[in-house]
């Protein structure tokens, strides 16, 4: 009977909030050890997201913190408001605890730690939109217009809808029209802040997917000058002098900038290919009078397909209603009907777009992709097993299954078996030595725990120690078992200007109670800015089935690098007053303890929301992104729209804080694209969110 009572106490400890036995973990080291021996799980949290480490940090119990660390408790897990235990110790003035926690999580400040975490939300948190709280939208709740439609509204006439055509231009065949790299650019005075940020996003995609680079103008003869003029348009090829690329009103999207820059690099439209009639049908009787010339095709002496197949996904392909007399009757249809809703809907450069670009400019590799490993090959991308550890990571074929035990996919991963041996044994997997060009790095990968709750994955950075040897170590982060046994997404920023390796350090927690281990897959390392916030939504496939128009999911609370608090609202089937099947998303500021130290209104910062195409190869992803800049002069009900949330918004019982007005998009991604590409991986959706001051990441070359 006594044992049964003790077990009830342990269960109460596991699931209770403040004021219940969970608080006992901050009182005495011996009690902590006893409770853990009786089965208490240190990974569980209160409703506010507090762990035992938060409670010990709050009360200044250094001995308890040491004990919790020895028991492999998560020392750096943030609560619902983004506060890690070290921050709690700082608030309550416990300097010894702060110093100890700094040692446990070196080189990690509060804001940078938040960018590492993948936050999870479940279908039980679906909320219903009240009519008065729907928000303010930047779109009309339908697919945005294509370039021909945008330009038609200006009254200007362009060749093929968006080209300023000079006679005898032959940019695809004549090397004289190629650019020398990096390409100089100017931002004209007409370019607004959001457009500038979107252009920088497009530049980063060119650097990631090719060897094309851009640099600020320094007096060169040839350069691109970006302006906000009437419509979206460009010249084809390098004119050997300064030339304008217009990113006008309604053109401020990454894929449109890519489209116009590809013209400047020497490319025509996909439907202009010599062989296009084998793949699409032009309905000449549906074309607006006088616009048929926009559907001319060229012979092989004028353009080249660069030995690539016709590409329905190309960012250079126009949509089915381009130049159509009737916006419900197409002017172009595809010979393969499944692609009728694909042409003209590209979110990014396609795989074949990138292949052509790299062939034209003789690109051997990406400028910013340092390393990528999908583990499909037995050589595991040159990664190295450390000979001084206790075990090896194993190259393993795994099968992912959904909640109904249906097979989703099979692929190879690296696994560390934690079912045998002793607690504390390790397996270390190191990357090959890498040589950086930029300082900023972003390491992303998928991981899963299905062993003991005490298992741990530690990620290290090893750099040149000044003697040419890569052996100076720095801990980047520790990742702990979350109890879910599902794949998660890690997002780890770090800096290095010297040669380095990144290291995965698996740690066995309790082999006797392990039925699996630690698994990693699909590693990507880029020299790009990591997103500051990541929202992983599990079981999104099930959420789509159970949600209705107007239902939405509330994100965890995020903080940007300056300390501004914000939240997202994602509409799986679009807002209440909308048509069609697509995903919408909104952004809101929220109140926090940081508000008194921040600038208000929070203007001139760019919000970028991205639904991630989870293709294992980052260079083939076609993620859906939307951006806007907060206007410091924008007003709502006589108040600055982007002022503190407790001034402009209302108390939200879900968060127990004030949440400001919503601002965003009804239509970001149609459900057909969710399923056709890799937006859903193991049924999960990933959202990346940035709310930052715009800056030029700089050229690589």
Q: At 161, which CATH number?
A: 3.40.390.10
For 505-557, how does the pLDDT look when each residue is reduced to its tens digit (9 = 90+)? Answer: 999 999 999 999 999 999 999 999 999 999 999 989 989 988 888 899 999 99
- Predicted confidence at residue 351, as pLDDT, reads 96
Domain annotation covers residue 4: no
| pLDDT profile of the chain (701 residues), mean per 10 | 33 35 54 68 67 85 81 72 77 81 52 41 58 74 86 86 69 78 97 97 98 97 97 93 95 97 94 94 94 86 86 95 92 95 92 96 96 94 90 89 66 95 95 96 96 94 95 93 87 95 96 95 96 93 89 92 94 84 94 94 97 96 97 94 95 91 93 92 94 94 87
Going by C-alpha positions, the residue among 429, 432, 440 that lies closest to residue 371 is: 432
Q: Are residues 356 and 391 in the same domain?
A: no
Q: Are residues 309 and 394 in the same domain?
A: no
Domain annotation covers residue 571: yes
Q: Are residues 593 and 660 in the same domain?
A: yes
Q: At 422, which CATH number?
A: 2.60.120.200
C-alpha dist (Å) from residue 206 to 175, 310, 644: 20, 21, 37
Q: At 98, which CATH number?
A: 1.25.40.20
Catalytic residue among 260, 430, 456, 527: 260
Q: Are residues 241 and 274 in the same domain?
A: yes
Length of the chain: 701
Residue 198 CB-half CA count within 13 A: 31
503, 526, 549 — which closes off a domain?
Answer: 526
Domain boundaries, position 556 = 533-693
Domain annotation covers residue 118: no
49, 79, 104 — which closes off a domain?
Answer: 104
Using CA atoms in the order 372, 378, 383, 384, what is the torsion angle rounded to 10 degrees?
170
- Judging by DSSP bridges, how do beta strands 606-611 and 582-590 pair with one another? unpaired
Q: Are residues 263 and 294 in the same domain?
A: yes
Q: At 548, which CATH number?
A: 2.60.210.10
Report how far Cα 535 is from the mean position of its chain's Cα atoms: 9
Going by C-alpha positions, the residue among 454, 459, 438 that lies closest to residue 509 is: 454
Record the pTM. 0.83
Domain annotation covers residue 63: yes
- Predicted confidence at residue 81, as pLDDT, reads 59
263 is in an annotated binding site: yes
Domain annotation covers residue 13: no
Q: Is 149 a catalytic residue?
A: no
Q: Are residues 283 and 196 in the same domain?
A: yes
Q: Are residues 679 and 547 in the same domain?
A: yes
Q: Are residues 197 and 277 in the same domain?
A: yes
Q: Are residues 448 and 504 in the same domain?
A: yes
Q: Are residues 549 and 570 in the same domain?
A: yes
Domain annotation covers residue 56: yes
Q: Are residues 406 and 549 in the same domain?
A: no
526, 560, 592 — which closes off a domain?
Answer: 526
Q: Are residues 538 and 497 in the same domain?
A: no
Instruction: Compute the distance between CA of residue 547 and CA of residue 690 in angstroms, rounded to an integer.
Output: 27
Report how many domains make up the chain. Answer: 4
Domain annotation covers residue 297: yes
Instruction: Compute the distance between CA of residue 76 and CA of residue 397 in angstroms, rounded to an integer.
Output: 32
Domain annotation covers residue 193: yes
């Amino acid at each position: 009977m006594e044992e049964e009572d003790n077990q009830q106490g342990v269960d109460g400890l596991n699931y209770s909030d403040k004021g219940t036995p969970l608080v006992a973990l901050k009182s005495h080291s011996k009690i902590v050890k006893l409770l853990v021996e009786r089965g208490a799980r240190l990974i569980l949290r209160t409703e506010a997201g507090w762990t035992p480490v938060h409670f010990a940090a709050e009360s200044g119990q250094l001995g308890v913190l040491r004990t919790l660390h020895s028991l492999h408790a998560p020392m750096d897990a943030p609560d619902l408001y983004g506060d890690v235990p070290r921050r709690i110790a700082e608030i309550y003035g416990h300097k010894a605890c702060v110093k100890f926690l700094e040692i446990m999580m070196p080189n990690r400040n509060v804001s940078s730690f938040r960018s590492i975490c993948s936050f999870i939300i479940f279908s039980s948190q679906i909320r219903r939109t009240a009519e008065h709280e729907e928000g303010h939208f930047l779109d009309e709740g339908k697919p945005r217009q294509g370039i021909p439609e945008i330009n038609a509204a200006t009254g200007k006439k362009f060749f093929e809808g968006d080209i300023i055509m000079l006679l005898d231009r032959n940019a695809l065949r004549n090397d004289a029209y190629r650019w020398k790299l990096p390409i100089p650019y100017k931002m004209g005075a007409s370019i607004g802040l959001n457009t500038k940020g979107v252009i920088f996003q497009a530049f980063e995609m060119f650097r990631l997917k090719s060897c094309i680079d851009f640099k600020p103008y320094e007096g060169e003869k040839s350069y691109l000058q970006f302006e906000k003029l009437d419509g979206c348009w460009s010249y084809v090829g390098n004119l050997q002098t300064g030339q304008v690329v217009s990113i006008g009103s309604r053109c401020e999207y990454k894929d449109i900038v890519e489209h116009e820059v590809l013209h400047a690099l020497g490319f025509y439209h996909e439907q202009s290919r010599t062989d296009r009639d084998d793949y699409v049908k032009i309905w000449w009787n549906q074309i607006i009078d006088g616009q048929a010339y926009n559907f001319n095709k060229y012979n092989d002496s004028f353009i080249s397909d660069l030995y690539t197949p016709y590409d329905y996904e190309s960012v250079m392909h126009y949509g089915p209603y381009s130049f159509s007399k009737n916006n419900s009757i197409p002017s172009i249809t595809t010979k393969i009907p499944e692609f009728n809703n694909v042409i003209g809907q590209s979110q990014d450069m396609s795989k074949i777009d990138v292949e052509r670009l790299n062939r034209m400019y003789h690109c051997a590799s990406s400028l910013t992709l340092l390393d990528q490993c999908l583990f499909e090959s037995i050589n595991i991308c040159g990664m190295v097993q450390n000979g001084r550890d206790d075990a090896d990571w194993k190259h393993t074929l795994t099968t992912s299954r959904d909640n109904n035990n249906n097979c989703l996919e099979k692929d190879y991963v690296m696994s560390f078996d934690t079912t045998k041996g002793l607690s504390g044994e390790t397996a270390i997997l190191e990357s090959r030595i890498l040589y950086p060009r930029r300082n900023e790095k972003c390491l992303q990968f998928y991981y899963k725990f299905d062993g003991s709750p005490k298992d741990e994955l530690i990620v290290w950075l090893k750099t040149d120690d000044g003697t040419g040897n890569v052996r100076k170590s720095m801990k980047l982060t520790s990742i702990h078992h979350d109890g879910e046994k599902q794949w998660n997404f890690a997002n780890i920023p770090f800096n290095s200007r010297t040669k380095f390796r990144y290291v995965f350090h698996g740690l066995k927690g309790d082999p006797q109670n392990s039925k699996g281990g630690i698994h990693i897959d699909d590693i990507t390392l880029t020299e790009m800015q990591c997103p500051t916030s990541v929202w992983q939504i599990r079981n999104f496939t099930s959420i789509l089935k159970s949600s209705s128009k107007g239902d939405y999911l509330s994100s965890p609370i995020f903080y940007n690098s300056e300390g501004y608090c914000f939240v997202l609202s994602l509409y799986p089937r679009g807002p209440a007053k909308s048509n069609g099947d697509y995903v919408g998303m909104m952004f809101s500021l929220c109140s926090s303890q940081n508000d008194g130290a921040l600038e208000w209104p929070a203007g001139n910062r760019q919000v970028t929301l991205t639904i991630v195409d989870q293709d294992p190869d980052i260079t083939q992803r076609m993620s859906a992104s939307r951006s806007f800049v907060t206007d410091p002069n924008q007003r709502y009900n006589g108040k600055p729209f982007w002022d503190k949330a407790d001034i402009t918004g209302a108390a939200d019982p879900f968060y127990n804080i004030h949440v400001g007005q919503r601002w965003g998009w009804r239509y970001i991604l149609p459900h057909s694209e969710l399923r056709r590409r890799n937006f859903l991986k193991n049924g999960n959706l990933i959202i990346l969110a940035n709310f930052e001051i715009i800056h030029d990441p700089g050229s690589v070359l």
